């Protein structure tokens, strides 16, 4: 199964590298929104609660773009038939797509978080970095799993571009709560973490539950 | 122990909601034989192919493909079935070679198979170009390479010669034609050509089996009735 | 199939509702701060609890559907979720009325439980467009079940997350229901929950019976049409609307 998943992942990454359709869109969107906030909030710099909220909500909205496009190549080009015909474990498709989304999110954050630090953050981003990286990683796992599931669910519907955000955003609210609450004290002057363990546990729990659920139900989405 | 029949279908049925997509399909096909499926548009020919490919489940009746009962045992024979449908199932942004390499990974085939297959369909020179730059005929040839990469025992072909000039069609003969020695299910509108290379003919009308006969017993009147 | 034991159930529901009304109006004490309006609590909270349980139950029925392939489980799941959404609307409305009457605002953003419920409600609102945008009936049922399972798991997680993040819990209600309810209120509250649950189950059975009957009718009608088609393909068949 892992071999199949890696074959699918490599194929997807190769296509993404050629078409450059997903990651640039997500990144451009995020940077643009941060710029908008920079001007729209009429504040020189943010910290704490507000900073954390702006950072995370924008990342989630960018994730919607990634999720909507996740099965696009399958829909528009090869179709998943080639996978369904092959003697492989179909869960590999979920693993591959979730892994792809995870990588796209990481790439997005590598660019977007420093931009956020420059444009909007009052306190120095550098102090918060190690803990922030951990929070981002955990959140990305959950986002990737839920995103892949939602993407597959919405893949066959007609109003896909509407349904994806409506489905994804409520589902990731616990993720948002955990991530934003954990990030908030980090983005204050002095940047000490508070209750970090508690929120990491929430993120970890969320990740575990939804990865397991997604692995359990994904097959039924492909079965005809 | 002799080989099981390529196909053993009994009262095969598939619905779309309340509508009948396939009904009453009953026939038997021996290894190496060809089955031609004819009928008007929407008669269920493509649906039948997809059921045999394991892409759709039968709703009732029985279907044994290469000895395996669908849908429970499909996994046993997936590696022995080749499907060439309307969709070439190729990624347009990738090259022909990359597409076949991906396919070979899905089927666990050695990488050398890819070059062999490209040579078989005469696309070695253009295998590095993205599929979207290839002509329809080349895409079809590539799709045939994809479908036969794993040397299947059963070929499911939906209008395989569409978009092919006679030279290209002839080139593909050893791969997907009678000469390949493989059991084949051939969906086509070209009834005369089909009858020339077939052992058994299945006529579908509105999803229902009108007849399933050895080609020798078929008269042209019956085939014409399918299209009224 | 679903109407077994319906009559005693319906009777029990009516009795429970009557009992709970009686208790609410005549037995439960008047709240010192909020006065009569506080009694909405006996509708609002049981409704919320039953709706949330309905969502989770819908998820469990969806699991059964996927595991057995039996479409009747999907129907049960759909009706449970459908009814819970309706109840959910009631929760939000009664919550708003209560909030406005007691504290002067139509909505309280700093009440985590209310906001959690809103998120769950918004999520489930997508159930309809998702379901009905898929045309193939088989696939529609399967995808709906997948959604029901993911959303059903989401309900407890969402509330846990909100609980974790807020040190402050829904003070006005939960501090009361957290075992601090005085005897009369507790009894009234419990009876209200029982009544609401019975009402839910009764409506659930009722809707399932109706749906089942109409499905059988449609199926019979279609088979009749097909039969007529086969025997006389040339002559047009008239079916009554």
Q: How many CB pairs under 8 A join A and C?
A: 91
C35 shares contact with chain B (CB less than 8 Å): no
Q: Which of A171, A210, A217 sits opposite C146 (nearest CB)?
A: A217
Report which of residues C100 and B28 the model is more confident about.
Answer: B28
C219 shares contact with chain B (CB less than 8 Å): yes
Q: What is the pLDDT of residue C31?
A: 67
Average pLDDT, chain C: 82
| Segments in chain A below pLDDT 70 | 44, 77-78, 190-191, 193
- Mean per-residue pLDDT, C64-89: 94
Average pLDDT, chain A: 88
Per residue in A52-77, pLDDT tens? 899 999 999 999 999 999 988 787 76
Q: What is the pLDDT of residue A209?
A: 95
Number of domains comprising chain A = 1
The DSSP result for chain A, as a single string, is: -HHHHHHHHHHHHHHHHHH--SHHHHHHHHHHHHHHHHHHT--S-B-HHHHHHHHHHHHHHHHHHHHHHTTHHIIIII-THHHHHSSS-THHHHHHHHHHHHHHHHHHHHHHHHHHHHHTBSS-HHHHHHHHHHHHHHHHHHHHHHHHHHHHHHTT-TTHHHHHHHHHHHHTHHHHHHHHHHHHHHTSTT---SSHHHHHHHHHHHHHHHHHHHHHHHHHHH--
Q: Is the ipTM of this complex over 0.85?
A: yes
For residue A185, the enclosing domain spans 2-222
Is B120 part of a structural domain of the chain? no
- Which residue of C74, C136, C138, C239 to mutate against B (max B Cβ within 10 Å)? C138
For residue B16, the enclosing domain spans 7-90+153-226
Is B158 part of a structural domain of the chain? yes
CA closest to B103 among chain A residues: A82
Band (B166; pLDDT cuts 50, 70, 90): confident
Is B207 part of a structural domain of the chain? yes
Q: Which of B75, B83, B94 sits opposite A15 (nearest CB)?
A: B94
Which CATH number does C6-209 carry? 1.20.120
Residue C86 has pLDDT above 60, yes or no: yes
Query: Cα-flanking dihedrals φ and ψ of residue A159, to 5°?
Result: -95, 45
Asked if the Cβ–Cβ distance from C164 to A202 is below 8 Å, we say: yes
CA closest to A152 among chain C residues: C143
């Amino acid at each position: 199964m892992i071999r199949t998943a890696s074959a699918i992942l490599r194929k997807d990454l190769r296509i993404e590298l050629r078409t450059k359709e997903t990651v640039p869109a997500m990144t451009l969107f995020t940077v643009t929104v941060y710029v908008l906030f920079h001007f729209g909030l009429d504040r020189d710099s943010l910290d704490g609660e507000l900073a954390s909220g702006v950072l995370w909500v924008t990342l989630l909205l960018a994730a919607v773009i990634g999720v909507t496009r996740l099965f696009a190549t399958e829909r528009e080009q090869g179709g998943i038939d080639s996978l369904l015909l092959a003697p492989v474990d179909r869960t590999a498709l979920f693993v591959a797509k979730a892994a792809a989304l995870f990588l796209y999110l990481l790439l997005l954050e590598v660019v977007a978080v420093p931009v956020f630090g420059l444009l909007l953050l009052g306190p120095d981003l550098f102090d918060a970095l190690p803990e922030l990286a951990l929070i981002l990683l955990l959140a990305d796992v959950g986002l990737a799993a839920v995103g892949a599931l939602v993407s597959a669910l919405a893949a066959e519907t007609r109003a896909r571009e509407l349904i994806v955000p409506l489905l994804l955003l409520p589902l990731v609210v616990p993720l948002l709560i955990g991530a934003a609450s954990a990030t908030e004290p980090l983005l204050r002057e002095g940047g000490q973490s508070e209750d970090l363990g508690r929120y990491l546990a929430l993120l970890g729990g969320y990740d575990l539950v939804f990865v397991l659920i997604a692995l359990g139900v994904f097959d039924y989405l492909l079965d005809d | 122990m002799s080989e099981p029949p390529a196909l053993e279908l009994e009262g095969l049925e598939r619905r779309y909601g309340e509508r009948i997509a396939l009904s009453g399909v009953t026939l038997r096909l021996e290894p190496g034989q060809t089955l031609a499926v004819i009928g008007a548009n929407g008669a269920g020919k493509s649906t039948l192919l997809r059921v045999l490919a394991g892409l759709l489940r039968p709703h009732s009746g029985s279907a044994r493909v290469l000895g395996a009962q669908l849908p429970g045992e499909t996994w046993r024979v997936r590696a022995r079935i080749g499907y060439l449908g309307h969709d070439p199932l190729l990624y347009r942004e990738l090259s022909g070679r990359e597409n076949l390499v991906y396919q070979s990974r899905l089927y666990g085939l050695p990488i050398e198979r890819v070059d062999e297959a490209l040579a078989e369909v005469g696309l070695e020179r253009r295998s590095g170009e993205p599929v979207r730059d290839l002509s329809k005929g080349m895409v079809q040839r590539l799709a045939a390479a994809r479908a036969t990469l794993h040397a299947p025992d059963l070929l499911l072909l939906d209008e395989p010669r569409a978009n092919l000039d006679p030279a290209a069609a002839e080139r593909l003969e050893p791969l997907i034609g009678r000469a390949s020695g493989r059991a084949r299910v051939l969906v086509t509108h070209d009834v005369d050509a089909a009858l020339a290379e077939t052992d058994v003919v299945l006529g579908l009308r509105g999803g229902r089996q009108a007849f399933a006969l050895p080609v020798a017993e078929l008269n042209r009147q019956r085939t014409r009735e399918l299209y009224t | 199939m679903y109407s077994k034991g319906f009559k005693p159930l319906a009777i029990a529901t009516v009795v429970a509702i009557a009992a709970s009304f009686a208790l609410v109006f005549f037995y439960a004490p008047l709240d010192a701060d909020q006065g009569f309006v506080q009694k909405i609590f006996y509708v609002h909270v049981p409704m919320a609890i039953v709706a949330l349980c309905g969502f989770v139950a819908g998820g469990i029925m969806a699991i059964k559907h996927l595991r057995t392939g039996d479409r009747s489980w999907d129907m049960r799941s759909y009706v449970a979720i459908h009814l819970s959404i309706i109840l959910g609307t009631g929760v939000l409305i009664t919550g708003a009325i209560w909030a406005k009457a007691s504290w002067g605002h139509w909505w309280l953003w700093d009440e985590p439980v209310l906001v959690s419920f809103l998120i769950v409600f918004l999520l489930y609102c997508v159930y309809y467009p998702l379901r009905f945008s898929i045309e193939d009936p088989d696939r529609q049922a399967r995808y709906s079940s997948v959604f029901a399972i993911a959303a059903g798991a989401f309900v407890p997680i969402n509330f846990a997350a909100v609980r974790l993040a807020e040190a402050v819990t829904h003070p006005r209600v939960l501090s009361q229901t957290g075992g601090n309810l005085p005897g009369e209120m507790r009894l009234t509250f419990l009876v209200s929950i029982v009544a609401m649950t019975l009402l839910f189950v009764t409506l659930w059975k009722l809707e399932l019976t109706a749906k089942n009957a109409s499905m059988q009718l449609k199926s019979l009608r279609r088979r009749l049409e097909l039969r007529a088609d086969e025997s006389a393909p040339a002559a047009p068949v008239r079916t009554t609307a």
